[in-house]
Amino acid sequence: MTEPLLKADAIVKSFGPTKALDGASISVRAGEVVAVMGPSGSGKSTMLHCLAGIIQPDGGTVSYAGKDLGAMPDVPRSALRRTEFGFVFQFGQLVPELTCIENVALPLRLGGRKRKDAERQAREWLARLEVDDVAAKRPGEVSGGQGQRVAVARALVTGPRVIFADEPTGALDSLNGEHVMRLLTDTSRETGAAIILVTHEARVAAYADREVIVRDGHTRQVEFA
């Protein structure tokens, strides 16, 4: 067995008097798809944000590639999220003032890539996700399914080692949801990226290799047969 690429060990996180996580643990290996499931308010999204280094846990440790994220200064941790982590959220969170190709190219541009090169690579990913025909349109001019596929292209364009997907099909109908999940998981398996998939839908979790259940801030591992 290979060592975990990303691991949380007994993490605790409170927001005021409310304890969102209470000793939660998870480990994810390279190329693995792990579904994080649980009822609303169970701490799923808080766990994802801790794993991604967006928020710091109050206790416990989060490590990526053997490095303690909590001990990492803000600047390199932000650079890590920009280059080695990719993000897909429920409503895409595309920048409305930018075209779709500019949205996909944005992580590359923030990393210092020249516009022409960044947009060439962005167009390749739009084509792979079957939405290159909306490259010149703004997010408000495309359908929900198209917009979410643009968001997936943006998450994959930097060649991330980990993709964090927080309810990526929650705003889509079942047909578009299945399409997005198939494209996301197929493409990530081609690249070897791990996926941490937060969802409350069994049909979405079925794309994962295994499940982690979060309830009342605690975690329980579920191995698939």
Whether the full predicted model's pTM is greater than 0.85, yes or no, is yes
Residue 169: per-residue pLDDT: 86
Task: In whole angstroms, give the CA distance from residue 51 to residue 63.
Answer: 8
Phi, psi of 51 (to 5 degrees): -65, -35
Which residues, 6 or more positions from 18, have their beta carbon under 8 angstroms from its beta carbon? none
pLDDT of residue 225: 44
Strands in 33-37's sheet, in edge-to-edge order, are: 85-89, 162-166, 194-198, 33-37, 210-215, 218-223
Q: What is the pLDDT of residue 172?
A: 82
List, in order, residues 6 or more apart from 128 with CB less than 8 Å away. Answer: 153, 187
Whether 217 contacts 21, CB under 8 Å: yes
**Taking every pair of C-alpha atoms in the chain, what is the biggest distance, in angstroms?**
50
In whole angstroms, what is the distance from residue 141 CA to residue 97 CA?
Answer: 11
The token pair that represents 14 in the structure block: 């409170």
Amino acid at site 94: L
Question: Crossing angle for the helix pair 144-156 and 100-110, nearest 10 degrees?
Answer: 20
Cα 23 → chain centroid: 22
Helices (H), the chain: 44-51, 74-83, 100-110, 115-128, 144-156, 174-191, 202-205
Per-10-residue mean pLDDT of the chain, 225 residues long, equals: 87 94 94 91 91 94 93 90 88 89 95 95 93 96 91 92 90 84 85 91 90 92 61
The identity of residue 211, as a single letter, is E
